[in-house]
Amino acid sequence: MTTMNTQLGIVDEVTYGTPVVVTRFLEFNSESVSLQMGRIESSALRTGTRVMRSDRFEPFRIGAAGRLQLDVPTKGFGLFLKHMLGGASIATVVDSNYVQTHIIATLLGDFFTMQMAKPFNPAGTVQAFTYHGCKVTDWTLSCDLDGFLVADIGIDAEDEDTSTSLATASYPSDFRCFSFVGASVTFGGASIELKNFSVSCDNALDTDRRYLRASALKKEPVENGMRQIEWSATADFSDLTQYNRFNSATRAGALAAIVATFDGPVVHGGSLLPRLEITIPAARFDAVDQNVSGPEALMQDISGVGLDNGSAAPITITYRTTDSAI
């Protein structure tokens, strides 16, 4: 049976690991979230035993983890952005649209329930898999020529169950997806024509907080390091502007603001297009490569990291949508 009846739903949890009926439904491309099991095995010796006995191991549940990939929609994505970065706010309505602002902030206390529907094969009967205590461990937003803006999200969950009933899916009306057609990028305030653009962030979560506490399941993951923001792009090798940033002998010369803007194809309210905009005020240029590998026109692969300049948020993602709530 194909997976035509699959669905994805999420909702904020109140208590870590206590599932809530999912209410936010999104389309997705693929997922790899699965249960993690452990085995305690004994190596004790016994007369005549040359293979470990079947009563000398103990299974235990550790949690669940994996990845989720989806095309970024013009409606309903704010809840994921909140869990990706930690800080979220929403402005009052302007021209039938709300602007959500997402910045890096504490992730402590941010967790959600996620439910996947997976149909049996060949019967087609749908089985719900519900993940409690979900945290976003890392994420990537990327867009290639001729493609959509894609979110690749790492998920860590306290547990998985197959006993929670499948929620009834309900999707926003007339939403679209952001694509390369509505994309524009600036480096240092100047427009740059790119073949692709990507930004990622590792949230530096300790996902192995397990203790001798009458349960093998983990406690809520907490941050145990600095977040790592990385970005990359491919452009024509048209001049030395980007190379000179990489080659700069000064800190200021190696930095530039990067702003990537993605506009949706149609308005959902008023006259403003839906928009997702990524701003990295202090992007450092760590590699600019322009290597000849054949007769093709020469391109340059550009990459670096996002830093904290002490005044602006290291990365800000604004999301303009008709959603009245994050």
Task: Give residue-wise pLDDT tens across range 185-220.
Answer: 999 999 999 999 999 999 999 999 999 988 889 999
Q: What is the pLDDT of residues 49-69, one digit of tens each?
A: 999 999 999 999 999 999 999
pLDDT at position 4 over 80: no
Mark out the alpha helices in the chain (DSSP H runs): 78-85, 241-246
- Give the three-class secondary structure for 82: helix
Percentage of residues in the chain with pLDDT exceeding 70?
Answer: 99
In Å, how far are 8, 77, 96, 276, 324 from 321, measured between CA atoms? 20, 9, 9, 9, 8
- Give the pLDDT mean for 284-298: 92
pTM given for the model: 0.95
For residue 234, give the amino acid letter: T
Tell me what pLDDT residue 1 has.
Answer: 52
| Nearest of 197, 173, 171 to residue 186 by alpha carbon | 197
Q: What does the DSSP 8-state code read for residue 315? A: -
The H-or-E segment that residue 12 falls in is strand 8-12
202 DSSP β-pair partners: 138, 228
Q: What is the pLDDT of residues 274-287, one digit of tens each?
A: 999 999 999 999 99
